[in-house]
Amino acid sequence: MLRRAILLAVPAVVLSACGFELRRAPTLPFRSLALVGFAPTSPLAGVLRQQLAAIDLLLLDDPARADAVLEALADARERSVVASTAAGQVRELQLRVRLRFRLSTPAGRLLLPADELLLTRDMSYNETLALAKAQEEALLYRAMEDDIVAQVLRRLAAAPKI
């Protein structure tokens, strides 16, 4: 019994001594934010809105009333053929999600200069499995969008205070 207690206590002591801490939601240096430049049907904007709402940030439609304005300069999903057979059948695709953005105050003072985030994933393709590959593509796009949103949130947290 004593041995079991010691074995359970050792990992807790080791992890606490190394500075390990679970990742928390970032603390942003502003209370309200306006998202501009995103297409109305942008999946990336939808994920970003969900994450910002989860950390209790007030999202406003009017940039003039917000503390900060996140402007999307480019928001794109891209898909290109990387490899094909001699018969012209697609064998491998490359998927990309690109976000170019900047953060400023409503008065135009730049808080974060224009920055670009680009994620790519390679995906094999087979025409006989078209439905399954379409689902795989959707899952890969969603994972890349989640990753880009996490990176955007970390950069917003590092922005100077207003």
Sort 87 into a burial class: Cβ within 10 Å, 0-12 / 13-18 / 19+.
Answer: exposed
Quick check: is 37 in a domain?
Answer: yes
Q: What is the CATH number of the domain that holds 27?
A: 3.30.160.150
Which residue range(s) make up the domain with 79? Answer: 2-157
pLDDT in tens, the chain (162 residues): 667 766 666 666 666 667 777 767 778 999 999 999 999 999 999 999 999 999 989 999 999 999 999 999 999 999 999 999 999 999 999 999 999 999 999 999 999 999 999 999 999 999 999 999 999 999 999 999 999 999 999 999 999 987
Give residue 64's identity as a one-letter amino acid code: A
For residue 86, is it within any domain?
yes
- The verdict on residue 162 lying in a domain is no
Instruction: Answer whether residue 148 is part of any domain.
Output: yes
Measured between alpha carbons, how far is 95 from 79 in angstroms, rounded to an integer? Answer: 5
Structural domains counted in the chain: 1
